[in-house]
Amino acid sequence: MERTIYKAGFQASGWARLPHRPPMISRGFCRFFRSESRYKGGHTLFVPTRENHNPQFNRRKLTIKMSRYRRSQNPGATYFFTVVTYRRQAILCDEPIREALRKAIASARAKRPFNIDAWVLLPDHLHCIWTLPVDDGDFATRWSVIKRQVSVVCGDAYWRAEWINASKQKHRESTLWQRRYWEHQIRDETDFTRHMDYIHYNPVKHGYCHQVREWPYSTFHRYVKEGVYSMDWGGDGVDDLVAGE
């Protein structure tokens, strides 16, 4: 069955750099410079140059403090997100968290609107696609509000004192969410369709069900009603599904 999903206003972008993957540094020639474009505060980095050769840098591992990593946020753009629980706890499908998450999303959308194009909720992570307003690209604040509200409602019930370290105390974090998340700006129609398929097939991929239609916590059934997917879509598997996890 051929499917066409119409989306407008995509803005071209490559894959976003993961916060925990600093740039690779070649062996040999190094110098210092101050980076202001991607790291706030101008963190000191090593980069290759033939001007200052120092053998002591040949095998040195580069460490960059990424706490102020700056994400690319473009108004009106469409993004694919992956958000993960802290230490991959299988808790997101618990009724209290599902209800708190539903209310937090509704509250965030009431104050800072965005369109939910696709969503899947799995026990230890979620995937979704959002389209932001044409005059607002701030998805980071939206995610911060959503995660914080869920933590306020459910934090005590899912509190793990043995997991609280100095960093979590400093940021006043609960033990529900992983601090970082993955985002990818959708480039075009093909990219959008590929991530839609990835999201809806994800429960089968992870072994939570045998058929896509069996998983209740996704937007798959909404798209079946709209005629985008057939009810038996994905029954024979789906090829070439690659996205951030």
Which residues are annotated as catalytic? 217
**How many whole angstroms separate alpha carbon 238 and alpha carbon 204?**
10
CA distances from residue 124 to 121, 169, 195 in whole angstroms, order as listed: 8, 23, 19
Nearest Cα to Cα of residue 73 among 144, 172, 7, 24: 144
Tokens of residue 215, six digits: 């998983």
CA distances from residue 159 to 47, 63, 83, 174, 199 in whole angstroms, order as listed: 42, 31, 19, 7, 29
Tokens of residue 27, six digits: 């062996």
**How many whole angstroms separate alpha carbon 245 and alpha carbon 242?**
9
